[in-house]
Amino acid sequence: EAGVVQSPRYKIIEKKQPVAFWCNPISGHNTLYWYLQNLGQGPELLIRYENEEAVDDSQLPKDRFSAERLKGVDSTLKIQPAELGDSAVYLCASSFGPLAGGKETQYFGPGTRLLVL
C-alpha cells in the first residue's frame, strides 16, 4: 500500500517568493493534516481537513499561508510571500476520519524541506 506522497522533497527559494507543496494522502483516508517541523522540534499542526472542509486552521498564519483540498483527496499548501523564518520541514499526514472507531493513527509523508534564502 502506498504511503503519503509529498512533493517536492526539497525546495530552495529567495525570500518574498511564493512556494507550494503538494500532498497525496493514503487512499481511503478522509482526514488530512499539514504540520510544520522546525529543526530539533516536534511537528506542529497547521491545518486539518475532514474531506474538503478545513475543520481546524487556528494555527495557520493566514496572512501568508493558504491551503486547499479540492475533491477531498490531494492537498496543496502555499506560502506567499515566503520569509526567512519559514525555513523548515512541512509534513503532510493522513488518517481515517473521527468516526472510524479508534483508527486515529496518523501516517506521515517524508516532508518537504524548505530553505528560504
Q: Would you tell me how many other CB atoms lie within 10 Å of the CB of residue 68?
A: 12
Choose between 14 and 58: whose C-beta lies nearer to other proteins.
58
In the complex, what is the shortest distance from the CB of residue 16 to other proteins, in angstroms, rounded to a whole number? 28
Q: Which of 19, 24, 29, 31 binds other proteins (CB under 8 A)?
A: 31
Task: Report whether the peptide linkage leading into residue 43 is cis, meaning its omega lies within 30 degrees of zero.
Answer: no
40 near other proteins, judged by CB under 8 A: yes
Contact 47, 67 (CB under 8 A): yes
Over the window 53 to 72, marking each residue x when it contacts other proteins by CB under 8 A and - when it does not, the resulting string is: ---x----------------
In the complex, what is the shortest distance from the CB of residue 3 to other proteins, in angstroms, rounded to a whole number? 9
Choose between 36 and 79: whose C-beta lies nearer to other proteins.
36
> What value, to the nearest 5°, has the Cα angle with vertex 71 and ends 88 and 47?
30
Burial class, 22, CB count within 10 angstroms (exposed 0-12 / middle 13-18 / buried 19+): middle
Q: Which of 21, 33, 34, 65 binds other proteins (CB under 8 A)?
A: 33
Choose between 81 and 107: whose C-beta lies nearer to other proteins.
107
The partner residues of 24 in beta bridges, in order of sequence, read 5
